[in-house]
Amino acid sequence: MQYHLDMVSDKLRSKNGAAIRPRSAVSLALSIASDNSVPAASARAANGAGTGERQPDSAQHPAPAIGGSAPASRPVTVSVVIPAYNAAAFLPRCLQSVFAQTLKPAEVIVVDDGSTDSTAALAADLGAKVISRRNGGISAARNTGIKQATSEWIALLDADDLWAPEKLERQVACIQLGTVLVYTGICVFDDRGVRGDQPAIDAPSAIKTLRYRNPISPSSALLRRQALIQVGGFHGGIDGCEDWDMWVRLQHLGQFEAVTDPLTSYYVYPNSFSANPERMLKAVRGIIDSCLVADLHGLDRWVWRRRILAEQFCSAGLIARDNGLKGELGYLLQSLCAWPFPWWQPRRFAIFAASARGLFRRSEQA
């Protein structure tokens, strides 16, 4: 999964600001952190798991027509797809946030990707429909869940992330006839609590930004299943940027919609992809030519390739800074070398200057 957190650290909202909704998801997680269980009976009732029954009308929501002025006659159904590998430590709070949705999903599918812990048994006990497969990576696991899903819409959720209770309801209300993807803002948290909020940028800006940065977290994404199938699902040969690659392909099939509020809580921990700048850079390099600049030629292709690298090196520097890793200043310097012109993404120069001053102060204090 490739989603940049540099914007979180660069543009954090005040904890006293307006965007507070995702706190409910984090609070939900913290409230059950000491109780590693979810009432299985109520979870199964919400999901229909274990009984073979589909969720009745409470799991459905009328889709707004274009412009949102009138409801469509056909209701919207949502299948939640959660790929999981050795995720027993995270699943209780993840599934708790799913079963707490004000708009109940038709089904909750956990794809156990060859786990060696109790992931599959725990997911089943908590009320999810479990599909077990040999370990094949997150793309293969998502594709398995999407193929088995029975709903028109797929809500992706990583096993270590959470949703605010109104997340699905708010997204479904945005669906129009040509919509293929609805995403939300995110709240970043770790084991110490909330790091900060990142409201979603508007859809036209997101599509432009996809050229050089991924502004959409997969755990925030609600996707039209037919569109996912039409583009061939997630590419299995991509390690870490499969979501970015997917958004780039989907933009040609229909429109994106954004829910600005950070209704998805995104968990960061030391071994996660988002806390590993070298792994992130390797993954991005793997999709630059095949995906991000595939439609460009000549000078345009060279320019955007350099800009993408500049943005990614800047992101790597911020990841190193936020996670106490070495190389912060080196990554930021590589960003300026890759694209040394201040009229594109000038914030990179301010970030470099601030990091250099911080490093100088720390060296004086040592």
pLDDT in tens, 81-126: 999 999 999 999 999 999 999 999 999 999 999 999 999 999 999 9
Q: How confident is the model at residue 322 (pLDDT cuts 50, 70, 90)?
A: confident
Domain ranges of the chain: 6-274, 285-365
Between the alpha carbon of residue 285 and those of residues 142, 194, 202, 289, 294, the distances in Å are: 23, 30, 26, 8, 13
DSSP 28: H
pLDDT tens digits, residue range 164-181? 999 999 999 999 999 999
Q: Is the pLDDT of residue 161 over 70?
A: yes
What pLDDT is recorded for position 358? 87
The domain defined by 6-274 folds into Spore Coat Polysaccharide Biosynthesis Protein SpsA; Chain A (3.90.550)
Q: What's the whole-number average pLDDT of the chain?
A: 84
Phi, psi values for residue 220, rounded to 5°: -95, -5
Phi, psi values for residue 73, rounded to 5°: -75, -30
| DSSP-assigned beta bridge partners for residue 193 | 190
Mean of the pLDDT values across residues 234-259?
94
| DSSP-assigned beta bridge partners for residue 255 | 179
pLDDT tens digits, residue range 18-77? 333 444 555 555 454 444 444 443 344 344 443 333 333 333 444 443 334 334 457 899
What pLDDT is recorded for position 13? 36
